[in-house]
Homo-oligomer: A and B are copies of this chain.
Amino acid sequence: MAEGYLKGRIRREDIITTAVSVYAEAGYHGSSLREIARRSGITHAGLLYYFPTKEALLAAVLERRDSEDTEREHLAVPPGLDALRHLIALAAHNVQHPGIVDVYARLAAEAVAAEHPAHDYFERHYKMARDYAVASFQVLAERGELRPGVDPAYAGLNLVALMDGLQVQWLSGGGAVDLVGALRSYLESLLAVPLG
């Protein structure tokens, strides 16, 4: 029983890993459960047992990434200077993993359409990211660690947008773009204290 459960968990994780690869090649809309089943080495019916719809599998892919990011970078730290440092660490990690960044950038762009199954996920995700970034700049402002005249609301929105936009530049530019350096440069232009 316990062994069967474990096998099921592993199979489920394998399917998610395969889905990430297939999304990276064909985009979410260009992918099919049939193809993901084939590449996972199971039958179509077998895959449907774990993920009854395309949307259910997409949700699992997105949830896995969020939980991995949160765990690895301790994104649950309170808003402030440390939170910004963790975002830079996250960007440095992403630069080592172009595959998942590619999937994510394409999904985010596809999902601006209101009827896309990941639309609500990205709307929530962006709102959460913006709120966290804005709260961090507000804490900095209260502590006098922000340059005078910098608006925390715009600074936070721009930080989230910049991380997204830099990923596309970096993915398109074939290594010519220093993503982490650019992000540090942006933050340093807003701070009244060293970023460290």
A contact set with B: CB distance below 8 Å: 25-27, 29-30, 102, 105-106, 108-113, 119, 122-123, 126-127, 130, 147, 149-151, 154-155, 157-158, 160-166, 168-169, 171-174, 177-178, 181-182, 185-186, 188-190
A182-B169 contact in complex given A29-B29, A30-B29, A30-B30, C-beta closer than 8 Å = no
A16 to chain B, nearest CB (A): 21
Residue in A113, A155, A168, A188 with the greatest tally of chain B CB atoms within 10 Å: A168
Docked-complex contact A102 and B106, CB < 8 angstroms: no
A103 to chain B, nearest CB (A): 10
Q: Of all chain B residues, which has the CB nearest A163? A: B165
A154-B181 contact in complex given A27-B27, A165-B163, A165-B165, C-beta closer than 8 Å = yes
Docked-complex contact B29 and A172, CB < 8 angstroms: no
